[in-house]
Structure 1
Amino acid sequence: MNEHQTVILNAGATPSAPALLLRPWRTEDVAALVEVFRDPTLRRWTSSGVENEADALRWIRDQERNWATGDHLAFAVLETQPQPTSTQGQLAGHVILKEAATGKPSAEVGYWTAAHARGRGVAPRALEALSDWAFDTLGPDGLERLELLHQVDNPASCRVAHKSRYPLDTVLAPAPPAYPREGHLHVRHRAG
C-alpha cells in the first residue's frame, strides 16, 4: 500500500464539531505533533515518546516507512474548515490500522485524540472512517475483523469502541511490563 499519498478519508461534521479529514502524516505536522504530546493524559496512554521536533520528525518518518511496507497505516486526523482540503485543519488526533495484509483475516486499530478536541466525537468518527475504509479496501482480499485493545482502566477508550461499533469481545489477562493491567479486546466484523 505505497499509494499513501493519495489516501484521504473524510468524516462528516456534527452539530457541535467540524468535519474531519484523515490523511497520512507529513513533515509539516511536526510542530503540531510536539504540541499535542505535551498533554500528560495522552502520554499516559501511548507508547510513543515525542518530546521535541527531532522526536516528532523521527515518529513521522516511521509512519511513512510503515506506509511504504504496508505494515501500519497511520492517519493524522484534522478538524477541517467548511471546504476541506488535504493541507488545512487543526491536528485533532491519530488513527492507525496495524498489521493489515492481503489475505490476513484480522488487523488491529488504534487511535488517540488531542486534548483540545476531546468530547467532540473525534475518535469515534475517525475510527468509523478508518474501519469502513479498511473493510472496503482489504475486505475483498480477506479482511474479516478489526480488533481494538485498551487497558481496563481506560473507560474513555471503552466508550469510543462502543460508539464505533466495536463491542467487547474478551477481557484479557495482564501482560507486564507493557500491559500491567487487564485489557479489553473489542471486535468489529465486516458486514456481510
Structure 2
Amino acid sequence: MITSVTLQAAATPTAPALVLRPWCVDDVAALVEASPDPGPRSEEEGLRWVRAQERGWAQGIRFGFAVVEQGSAPSPSPPERLVGNVVLKEVAPGKPAAEVGYWTAARARGRGVAPRALEALTEWSWAAFRADGLERLELLHQVDNLASCRVAAKCGYAYDRTLAAAPPAFPLDGHLHVRRMPT
C-alpha cells in the first residue's frame, strides 16, 4: 500500500520547479488562501478537507497532492508556496480506469503549473498502478472551462466525448478527456 510519495516537476524558463507531496495539516492556512471557489473558506473547512485527503491516502483510493513551488532561498529547507492541487481518484486493483483532477491557485495561473503537475501525476500513476491493471486515466471538466481543455491537450488527454449535466454535483455538461497508458 502506498502511504506517501513526493513527485517533482522540472522548472521552466519562467517558473520554478514544483514539488507534489501529500497534503498535511500544516497546509490548512495556505489551502484556505489559495483554493478556488468552491473550496474551503475557513480553517475548520480546510482542516476537514485535508483530513479527507489523508483518509484517501490511508484507504489507498484517492491520492491528493499539494503542488508547491520550492523557494530559492539557500537554506536546509527552502520555503514552499502552495500553487495548486492534483489528485488521482477512483483507483482500485483490477479497475482499468481512474480519474485525475486538479486546480491551480489564481496567483499561479498562466505559468504552466497545471500541465507540469498533471504530467508528473500521470507518469506516477502509470508507474504505481500498472501492475494493478490501470490502463486509462480520465479527466472531466465543465464545457465552459477552456483552460482545462488546453491543459488536457498539452498533457496528451484526448477529447473523448461530452457528458450530460447531472445537477446538483455537475450543473453543466462536461468534457471527458482520456489518456491511455503507453505500450
The TM-score range, normalised by the shorter chain, is over 0.9
Instruction: Say yes or no: does 1:61 pair with 2:59.
Output: no
| The one of 118, 123, 131 aligned to 1:140 | 131
Q: Quick check: 2:28–2:47 contact (8 Å CA) kept in 1?
A: yes
Q: Deviations over 1:3-35 (max 9, x none)?
A: 22xx00000000000000000001110110111
Distance 1:189 1:151, change over 3 A: same
Give the CA deviation at 1:89. 1.4
TM-score, normalised via structure 2 length: 0.94
Task: Tell me how far apart the structure 2 counterparts of residues 144 and 85 of structure 1 sit (CA, whole Å).
Answer: 40
| Residue identity opposite 1:3 in structure 2 | T
- Name stretches of at least 5 consecutive residues in structure 2 with no aligned partner: none
Give the CA deviation at 1:181. 1.8
Equivalent in the alignment of 2:96: 105
- Name stretches of at least 5 consecutive residues in structure 1 with no aligned partner: none
| Residue identity opposite 2:42 in structure 1 | N
RMSD, aligned α-carbons? 1.8
Give the CA deviation at 1:177. 2.1
User: What is the SS of the residue equivalent to 1:58?
Assistant: helix
Equivalent in the alignment of 1:177: 168
TM-score, normalised via structure 1 length: 0.89
Distance 1:106 1:84, change over 3 A: farther
Runs of 4 or more above 6 Å deviation: 83-87
Which deviates further from its counterpart, 181-190 or 170-179? 170-179
Give the CA deviation at 1:2. 4.4
Q: Quick check: 1:21–1:80 contact (8 Å CA) kept in 2?
A: yes
Equivalent in the alignment of 2:144: 153
Equivalent in the alignment of 1:12: 10
Equivalent in the alignment of 1:128: 119
Identity of aligned residues (%): 60
User: What is the SS of the residue equivalent to 1:191?
Assistant: coil
Q: Quick check: 1:8–1:86 contact (8 Å CA) kept in 2?
A: no
Task: Tell me how far apart the structure 2 counterparts of residues 136 and 186 of structure 1 sit (CA, whole Å).
Answer: 20
| Residue identity opposite 1:59 in structure 2 | W
